[in-house]
Amino acid sequence: MITPNPRATALLAAALLLSGCGTGAVATTTGAAAPTTSAPQPEISLDLAPQQLPGLGPRTWAQVPSDSRQALVVTGRDKDSPRSTAVLYQRTDAGWEAGREWPAHNALKGWTDHHRLGDLRSPVGVYTLSDAGGLLRDPGTRLPYDHSTGFTLGGTGFEGEPLAGSFDYVIAIDYNRKPGTTPLDWTRPLGADRGGGIWLHVDHGGPTHGCVSLDREHMKDLLLALDPDRNPVVVMGDRAALAR
């Protein structure tokens, strides 16, 4: 049974009002139309959530599963830039509602439609988010979480920044991996030459090898927000690619 949406009903009534239905004449007790003088209707802002994720063209939108109710949209500045922004969208009866915009990093050389091992570009596409883990204990996510010292990382990044702590929180992006396993599982269904280990992880202040990184608190917020029952996905790529 479909429960009527009060907000949708009210908006439909407002739309009918704006289109002229119910204005210009009123019914009298005799059934005749009596002339009236109607004051101009004030402009009404119908603040509807979009039914499609903003910024996506038909090809990208077609890849978003119809049953997905959560989508992290990562939009790169341009094809060759390592900087991007991320917004978590939640699908409701009214449409897709946006969360706050978060700054993010992607791969050093930007984005690619055909990721290969060592190309220093992040893969464009729509991917499910099914598994998480990290060096730190589970903060309370509903995703399966692997707490392991295997997420220990050292060394420095491309700009000399320390990498320690980057894998404190990790969400595996299901690119060339086996969903339902720890992010540390190195199974590569497309072959090793197509790369892998593409994660969402804690930002270390510089470009990545292929992952997408968010500030620590934003990663924690994301882990707490994602719900496997809502079939979460990440939609990622440079602005032009996503608009295709």
Domain boundaries, the chain: 1-48, 58-242
- Give Cβ neighbours of residue 40 (< 8 Å, ≥ 6 apart): none
**What is the gyration radius of the CA atoms in the chain, in angstroms?**
24
- Which of 25-29, 52-56, 105-109 comes out lowest in average pLDDT? 25-29
Find the Cα–Cα–Cα–Cα dihedral 86, 92, 97, 99, rounded to 10°. -50
> Confidence class of residue 184 from pLDDT cuts 50, 70 and 90?
very high
DSSP assignment letter at 54: T
Kindly list the catalytic residues. 201, 211
Percent of the chain clearing pLDDT 70 (strictly above): 80
Residue 222 has phi, psi (to 5 degrees) of: -65, -45
Tens digits of per-residue pLDDT, 46-96?
456 789 999 999 999 999 999 999 999 999 999 999 999 999 999 999 999
Span 1-15, average pLDDT:
37
Q: Could you tell me the pTM of the whole model?
A: 0.80
Confidence of residue 113 (pLDDT cuts 50, 70, 90): very high
* pLDDT number for residue 61: 97
Share of the chain above pLDDT 90, in %: 80
pLDDT of 25? 30
N-terminal to C-terminal alpha carbon distance within the chain: 37
8 A C-beta contact, residue 185 and residue 199: no
What distance in Å separates the CA atoms of residue 196 and residue 80, rounded to the nearest whole number?
A: 20
Cα–Cα dist 116/209, whole Å: 11
